[in-house]
Amino acid sequence: MTFACFHWIGRCLVSRGLFIYNKWIHEAGPELGSTDPVTGQVVWKGCTARPQEIDAAVAAARVAAADWAKQELSQRREIIERFAGLLEEHSGAMALAISREVGKPDWEAATEVRSMIGKVELSIEAHERRCASFVGGTAVARFRPHGVVAVLGPFNFPGHLPNGHIVPALLAGNTVVFKPSEQAPLVAEETVALWEKAGLPAGVLNLVQGGGDVGAHLVEHPGVDGVFFTGSARAGVAINTRLAGTPQKILALEMGGNNPLIVHRVVDREAAVLLTLQSAFLSAGQRCTCARRLIVERAEAGDAFLEALVTGAARIRVGHHTERPEPFMGPVISPVAAEAVLKAQAGWVARGGRSLLESRRLRAGSGLLSPGIIDVTEMVEREDGEVFGPLLQVIRVDTFDAAIEEANRTVFGLAAGLISDDREAYEVFRRRIRAGLINWNQQLTGASGAVPFGGVGLSGNHRPCGFFAADYCSYPVASIEIPEVRRPATLPPGLE
């Protein structure tokens, strides 16, 4: 494991600053910090970008845009591949930053870094397949970058998800101003430091730190041509509202979901339980694809499946990333987030939900929560929202048809899954379910970068990322091209 890119003082990393036109800027706005969500220890200290730093970052990206777009694709690709190599070289340090800042177990943080590395090759392939120039007679279509794009990242995958916007955006010839989650500034800074080391020209990638006010200023900036966002539906809707009067800005939204998972006609109950546990509780329930609603048929799944599920959930190992043997689950992002999960659980029970397994805070003042499972079948006024944590709702229905209707009873449409040995049931499910990601006998949190990733309804705006991120990183320009001036073969009436 290498720590070459880190500047630790004690156990706290002192920020390099904001990154604007390939310079680290230390004199900026109010202090910003991030903490270990289990211990509360400060792991990073830095500063917030003020309006003048945001303006400077956009101006730097604007200055760099023309030359970066004019470079040959092979030149941009060479730098991006160099970044992937540096990620490989510093993978241990990057994984440690993820674990320390957002609490992921070491094994899970390592998989996130692997996804970041893999995104480069996938993005190159996607650009070649979806953005290649094509010719039809004298008609030609070519793709052009938008210019300056803002990337707003989340905390749950602080490396991988912003990377999924930044890599294809740079490959297409855009320049970027990156505003990470204020809860994960360390990972963003370390990522940008590797881009700097890879040799990106000045201004091509700029980093501004801060909260919602920084994001709002960046989103509305007249020098920004596009906004690529991953985060909550609430924040995504706010961005969409802010940009309602500027349709010239490309907007790609990847938001959350109230994701259903149906269990139907399963022989191997243990396998179904394991798939359900991973679907609901991976990343402490902080993946946008986590199962939020488990839908079971009374006659088929019944009490036996739920009893096995509760037993399995109660045995899940939860802890700090340094603990050995390693935990399956780390904390939610903060003690405040943990309190919100427990408050939601209490509300469900107060309205008639039946607790099958109570989620509990495992360490005072921390984000460590045990998994919770609540039967909400008889609950009054069941909410259609996303509780971002290890809390699973159970809904019992009488038929498979009712299960599909229940699954579709949401304004979201990100992910939906079926665990079943019945292929005919899956074909019905696949045709009728309304979601952008549909899995069969695979954990709901399983997704591939080789296909699109995104949802419908309040889960997105029909611009999926993943392999299809190439689509929103550039736009087609159509031309009819004739190499010499010559008289038209035919003329319309009145022009002879």
Six-digit token string for 85: 């190599």
Measured in degrees and rounded to the nearest 5, phi and psi for residue 46 equal: -155, -150
> Which of 41, 37, 36, 19 has the alpha carbon at shortest distance from 28?
19
Strand partners, 13: 8, 44
3-class SS of residue 460: strand
DSSP 314-358: HT--B--TT-SSPPSB---S-HHHHHHHHHHHHHHHHTT-EEEE-
> Which of 44, 103, 65, 145 has the alpha carbon at shortest distance from 477?
145
Q: Distance between CA 166 and CA 172 in Å, rounded?
A: 10
- For the chain, how are helix, strand and coil distributed in percent, rounded to 5? 40, 20, 40
Six-digit token string for 384: 């259609």
| Per-residue burial over 442-468, b = 16 or more CB atoms within 10 Å of its CB, e = otherwise | ebbbebebeebbbbbbbbbbebbbbbb
Q: What region, left, alpha or beta, does residue 265 occupy, with left being phi > 0 and alpha being psi -120 to 50 degrees? A: left
Q: Distance between CA 378 and CA 77 in Å, rounded?
A: 55
Strand partners, 368: none
Cβ–Cβ under 8 Å, residues 229 and 383 = no
Strand partners, 460: 254
Cβ–Cβ under 8 Å, residues 203 and 175 = yes
> Which of 324, 305, 219 has the alpha carbon at shortest distance from 262?
305
Q: Distance between CA 377 and CA 354 in Å, rounded?
A: 9
Residues 6+ apart with CB under 8 A from 101: 34, 36, 43, 44, 158, 183, 184, 185, 186, 187
> Which of 142, 179, 160, 158 has the alpha carbon at shortest distance from 61?
179
Q: Is the dihedral of CA 462, 466, 472, 477 positive or negative?
A: negative
| Per-residue burial over 43-68, b = 16 or more CB atoms within 10 Å of its CB, e = otherwise | bbbbbbbbeebbbbbbbbbbebbeeb
DSSP 226-253: EEEEES-HHHHHHHHHHTTT-TTSEEEE
Give catalytic residues, as residue numbers: 254, 288
